[in-house]
């Protein structure tokens, strides 16, 4: 497993600037980072807009959320910290990181200064890495595609916000209850769709949608060497690439579910093979698309994958 947000940079020089700016109370950066504190709401910083959206859903008007990765057209595997990033974290009441090696830059940022922020690690909360390690299996860090894991994280977000602002604890609880109900709806839809999907062959470019496919009972027939190489940013051997292309020409899979935010020569070959052989192509992303919240995004993902694999 790679550290997906590779390319994250927090240089020593940058940190020196950050500490100096924080100490001097630079007017531009400090006013941006501290505006919510002035208004009495809680500052939340999330590594990606997936967790940021969930925090905003639960916190409502009582939180100001900064998502460090929020551009759906960008490769989320690259991130470079700025002084504004560090200042946002320095002002935060709550920080949400994905963990599991996905966003190691968050730990670098947090360790660069003292902070009183509560830090939630979604992977740790999910328990999936411990389960994978105990079973000696490869760990999939994309836990936001597991609705049960998201339920656990949402509960921890509610708890952290309530601890920081007990006056609005009832509002946080009500918002979380509504969100949990929507997640339960997604889980119910997964169970219903599984009756038609279970056992269907599927190919992937990366394990981004792995938890969703597992919940549907789909059979991932992609050579492990292919998806591992793509995830690590390595070249795929000609033999492994051919084995992957054969999945489409021999009718072994009903759909290709691919991460459209990470592409290259090998993934383009796979996409072409799927389309040439009439295999359904379902794009997925790692960050929240424009105009979507978490529930509408995952509803669309679930519907598209289920339709492709049950047809």
**CB of 213 closer than 8 Å to CB of 235:** no
Given a cut of 90, whether residue 169 has pLDDT beyond it is yes
Region 9-26: mean pLDDT is 36
- Predicted confidence at residue 55, as pLDDT, reads 98
Q: Taking residues 234-251, what's their average pLDDT?
A: 96
Whole-number Cα distances in Å, 14 to 42, 63, 285: 26, 28, 30
Of the candidate ranges 13-27, 221-235, 242-256, 263-277, the one whose mean pLDDT is the lowest: 13-27
Tokens of 149: 């894991």
> Could you tell me the pLDDT band of residue 244, with boundaries at 50, 70 and 90?
very high
Which pLDDT does position 77 carry in this prediction?
62
Tens digits of residue pLDDT in 37-96:
457 899 999 999 999 999 999 999 999 999 999 877 666 667 777 888 888 999 999 999
Q: Give the pLDDT confidence score for residue 76 in this predicted structure.
A: 63
List the single range of 24-38, 108-122, 173-187, 214-228 with lowest mean pLDDT.
24-38
Question: What would the two tokens of residue 142 be?
Answer: 């994309």
The answer, yes or no, to whether residue 22 has pLDDT greater than 80, is: no
The pTM of this model reads: 0.87
Average pLDDT, the chain: 87
Q: Is 200 left (phi over 0), alpha (psi -120 to 50) or beta?
A: beta
In three-state form (DSSP H/G/I as H, E/B as E, the rest C), the secondary structure along the chain is: CCCCCCCCECCHHHHHHHHHHHHHCCHHHHHHHHHHHHHCCEEEEEEEHHHHHHHHHHHHHHEEEEEEECCCCCCCCCCECCHHHHHHHHHCCEEEECCCCCCHHHHHHHHCCCCCCEEEEHHHHHCHHHHHHHHCCCCCCCHHHCHHHHHHHHHHHHHHHHHHCHHHHHHHHHHHHHHHHHHHHHHHHHHHHHHHHCCCEEEECCCCCHHHHHHHCCEECCCHHHHHHHHHCCCCCHHHHHHHHHHHHCCCCCEEEEECCCCCHHHHHHHHHHHHCCCEEEEECCCCCCCCCHHHHHHHHHHHHHHHHHC
**9 vs 200, residue with greater confidence:** 200
| Closest of 207, 238, 235 to residue 220, by C-alpha | 207
Q: Of 10-14, 131-135, 174-178, which one has max mean pLDDT?
A: 174-178
Region 229-243: mean pLDDT is 91
Among residues 100, 105, 102, which one has the least CA distance to residue 125?
Answer: 100
In this model, does residue 128 exceed pLDDT 50?
yes
How many Cα atoms occupy the beta-carbon half-sphere of 53 within 13 Å? 20
The structural domains of the chain, ordered by start, are: 12-168 (3.40.50.1980), 198-310 (3.40.50.1980)
**Tokens 């807009």 found at:** 49
């Amino acid at each position: 497993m790679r550290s997906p947000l590779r390319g994250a940079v927090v240089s020593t020089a940058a940190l020196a600037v950050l500490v100096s700016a924080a100490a001097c109370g630079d007017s531009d950066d400090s006013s941006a980072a501290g505006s919510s504190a002035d208004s009495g709401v809680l500052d939340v910083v999330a590594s990606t807009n997936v967790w940021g959206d969930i925090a905003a859903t639960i916190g409502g008007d009582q939180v100001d959320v900064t998502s460090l990765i929020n551009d759906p057209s960008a490769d989320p595997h690259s991130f470079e910290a700025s002084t504004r990033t560090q200042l946002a974290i320095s002002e935060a009441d709550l920080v949400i990181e994905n963990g599991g090696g996905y966003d190691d830059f968050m730990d670098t940022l947090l360790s660069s200064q003292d902070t009183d922020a509560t830090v939630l690690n979604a992977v740790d909360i999910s328990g999936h890495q411990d389960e994978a390690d105990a079973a000696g299996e490869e760990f999939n860090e994309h836990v936001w595609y597991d609705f049960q894991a998201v339920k656990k994280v949402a509960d921890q977000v509610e708890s952290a916000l309530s601890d920081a602002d007990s006056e609005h604890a009832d509002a946080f609880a009500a918002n979380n209850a509504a969100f949990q109900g929507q997640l339960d709806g997604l889980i119910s839809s997964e169970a219903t769709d599984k009756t038609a999907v279970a056992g269907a062959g599927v190919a992937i470019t990366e394990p981004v949608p792995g938890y969703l496919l597992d919940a549907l009972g789909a059979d991932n027939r992609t050579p492990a060497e292919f998806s591992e190489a793509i995830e690590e940013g390595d070249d795929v051997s000609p033999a492994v690439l051919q084995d992957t292309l054969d999945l489409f020409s021999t009718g072994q899979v009903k759909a290709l579910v691919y991460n459209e935010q990470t592409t290259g020569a090998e993934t383009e070959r796979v996409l072409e093979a799927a389309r040439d052989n009439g295999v359904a192509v379902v794009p997925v992303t790692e960050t929240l698309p424009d105009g979507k919240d978490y529930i509408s995004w995952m509803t669309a993902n679930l519907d598209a994958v289920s339709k492709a694999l049950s047809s």
